[in-house]
Amino acid sequence: MLKNWLYVGFGLLLFGLVVFLPQGKVLAFHDVPEKYETEIHYLIDRGIIQGYPNGNFAPTDVVTREQAATMVGRALGLDGRQRNTVFPGVDADSFASGYIQSAYEEGIITGYTDGTYKPKETMTRGEMAYLISKAFSLHEISAVTYEDVQSSGSQYEAINKVSTAGIANGYDDGTYRPDASITRTEYSLLVARGLNDSFKVSQEEDVLETRVVTTDVLNVRSGPSTSYSRVGQFVRGTVIEVHQQQGDWLKVSTGSLKGYVHKDYTARTASGSRVIAIDAGHGGKDGGAEFNGLVEKEINLNVAKRVRNYLENSGVKVIMTRSDDTFIPLDDRNSYAVNNGADTFVSIHSNAFSDPSANGTETFYSSQSQRVTDSKQLALFIQDSLVEALGTKDRGVKDVPYRVIRSTSIPSTLVELGFTTNDSDAEKLGSSYWRDRAAKGISDGIIDYYEWKGK
Ligand SMILES: [Zn+2]
């Protein structure tokens, strides 16, 4: 008991000293939450918050509307001289009158519809969001959502803005609790974060993967369907981070925009810098197989160009051994790739056989290659993804020493898309829809391989 009285006495003595310090300088309060000491002392040092005369900061006390106006007024350096206000219930001689009037003039606070300000009422977290968004001129919105804040509600925009800015955040259960009173600690954090970026909270979520936008303009929405409002757009080539997948929709973000996009307009990116050589088989005087009105060299080049587009969209550098109808000797193809910095080689061909019932897709590697393991893995990834994309018969991955893939210093594989001699395969090989599917399949297989290599 005696000990407690000593503390009180000491506290009074301390307060006695405080009043003789220069204006705005107050010694540290003894009840400031340790976790937020830095932010709260930042405000104390600038005279933005002051404690009670008993030396307490009272961290869990709720903030009244006049206290809120005062603190934000000090933070922004508004005119705090006590004076008449536009609000009937706020007298000129009340401590907050100057800040209330100034904040009103700045458009930071508004009264109730009956024209009053109700200075002694507590401020809610929703009202505070409005005040803070105005005070710090926040304009940016994103797809931040809280389960208890309806997107049609009047406070939605303000709560979204303070969240997007990293000034306010919700609770761990996904709620924002807009109707709850705000405590002195919570309010102090908002003001400190508004004033100093280093205090801001990150709204960042885990990144599952990065993808790239593959359409000219991609709408970004506030939720996972087209019925949600548009919050912005990404242009082709924008690299986005994926945080969540909900059906066909991805929750994504870039540095400045967050929202939902449809998965089909994005593609995976390759990590690190990758250079692939795509070799369109045959060319020029060497047409390859010719059946069913199809010329192999033409199919191969067409699919190869589509593969190039998909891979370039995914951030992979692509070298083409030929990009037109040119004859290139077999021995020159892989060495051209290596000499131009390719780390991987994929040759694209179409098959033919005397028996028209032979059909399906197969991918080759060579155990004579200096990179057998990688070559085989690359072949496996491409074969899986290509068969799935084309819906052709899976003839598997085979070890055959074709000239362009044997004795090579980089992982190399040769793809046979399907048989020009088989009616069903030939129909696909002649169709630009299926050629595109094939290209997507090959491209996805290559990215799978690069991701596997990256591990
Ligand atoms: Zn061929």
pLDDT tens across 74-85, in order? 999 999 999 999
Q: How far is the CA of 283 from the centre of ligand 1 (A)?
A: 10
Nearest to 412 by CA among 451, 375, 360, 362: 375
Instruction: Give how far Cα 112 sits from Cα of 109, 115, 289, 389, 438, Å.
Output: 10, 5, 81, 61, 63
Q: How far is the CA of 288 from the centre of ligand 1 (A)?
A: 5
Q: How far is the CA of 77 from the centre of ligand 1 (A)?
A: 76
Backbone angles phi, psi at 253, to 5 degrees: -150, 155
Predicted local confidence at residue 255, as pLDDT: 65
Written as one letter, the residue type at 398 is K
Helices 65-76 and 125-135, interaxial angle, to 10°? 20
Predicted local confidence at residue 124, as pLDDT: 92
Least confident of 99-108, 170-179, 413-422: 170-179
Q: How far is the CA of 348 from the centre of ligand 1 (A)?
A: 8
Predicted local confidence at residue 120, as pLDDT: 93
Judged against a pLDDT cut of 70, whether residue 5 lies above it is answered with: no
Cα separation of 205 and 209, whole Å?
A: 12
Predicted local confidence at residue 3, as pLDDT: 36
Q: Do domains 209-268 and 275-454 have the same CATH topology?
A: no
Nearest to 320 by CA among 380, 280, 290: 280
| Residue 271's pLDDT band (cuts 50, 70, 90) | low
pLDDT tens across 216-229, in order? 899 999 888 999 88
The reply to whether 416 belongs to the active site is yes
299 vs 313, residue with greater confidence: 299
Predicted local confidence at residue 21, as pLDDT: 37
239 vs 138, residue with greater confidence: 138
Judged against a pLDDT cut of 70, whether residue 191 lies above it is answered with: yes
> Counting beta carbons within 10 angstroms of the beta carbon of residue 204, is it exposed (0 to 12), middle (13 to 18) or buried (19 or more)?
exposed
Instruction: Give how far Cα 232 sits from Cα of 112, 157, 235, 254, 314, Å.
Output: 33, 15, 10, 11, 22
Question: Residue range 141-151: average pLDDT?
Answer: 79
Question: Residue range 33-47: average pLDDT?
Answer: 86
Judged against a pLDDT cut of 80, whether residue 4 lies above it is answered with: no
> How is domain 275-454 classified at the architecture level of CATH?
3-Layer(aba) Sandwich (3.40)
Least confident of 2-6, 10-14, 308-312: 10-14
Predicted local confidence at residue 215, as pLDDT: 86
276 contacts 319 by C-beta, under 8 angstroms:
yes
Q: How many CA within 13 A on the CB side of residue 352?
A: 14
211 vs 378, residue with greater confidence: 378
Predicted local confidence at residue 272, as pLDDT: 63
Question: Residue range 249-277: average pLDDT?
Answer: 83
Backbone angles phi, psi at 196, to 5 degrees: -135, 115
Q: Which of 106, 362, 416, 451 is catalytic?
A: 416
Judged against a pLDDT cut of 60, whether residue 251 lies above it is answered with: yes
Per-domain boundaries in the chain:
24-199, 209-268, 275-454
Q: How far is the CA of 415 from the centre of ligand 1 (A)?
A: 9
Least confident of 48-62, 98-112, 420-434: 48-62
Judged against a pLDDT cut of 80, whether residue 64 lies above it is answered with: yes
For tokens 């893939």, what's the residue? 405
Question: Residue range 430-435: average pLDDT?
Answer: 97
Cα separation of 340 and 317, whole Å?
A: 11
What is residue 89's DSSP assignment? Answer: T
Residues 6+ apart with CB under 8 A from 313: 212, 214, 236, 237, 267
238 contacts 213 by C-beta, under 8 angstroms:
yes
Predicted local confidence at residue 107, as pLDDT: 92
Six-digit token string for 332: 């020159």
Question: What is the sign of the dihedral through the CA atoms of 245, 247, 250 and 251?
Answer: negative
Nearest to 84 by CA among 50, 132, 123, 117: 117
Average pLDDT, the chain: 87
C-alpha angle with apex 172: 171 to 176, nearest 5 degrees?
25
Question: Residue range 118-136: average pLDDT?
Answer: 93
Is 209-268 a CATH 2.30.30.40 domain?
Answer: yes
3-state secondary structure of 61: coil
For tokens 């449809």, what's the residue? 262
Q: How far is the CA of 417 from the centre of ligand 1 (A)?
A: 10
SS3 content of the chain, % helix, strand, coil (to 5): 35, 20, 45
| Residue 149's pLDDT band (cuts 50, 70, 90) | confident
Least confident of 198-202, 203-207, 375-379: 203-207
Predicted local confidence at residue 14, as pLDDT: 30
Judged against a pLDDT cut of 70, whether residue 248 lies above it is answered with: yes
8 vs 232, residue with greater confidence: 232
Predicted local confidence at residue 415, as pLDDT: 98
Q: How many CA within 13 A on the CB side of residue 182?
A: 28
Judged against a pLDDT cut of 50, whether residue 264 lies above it is answered with: yes
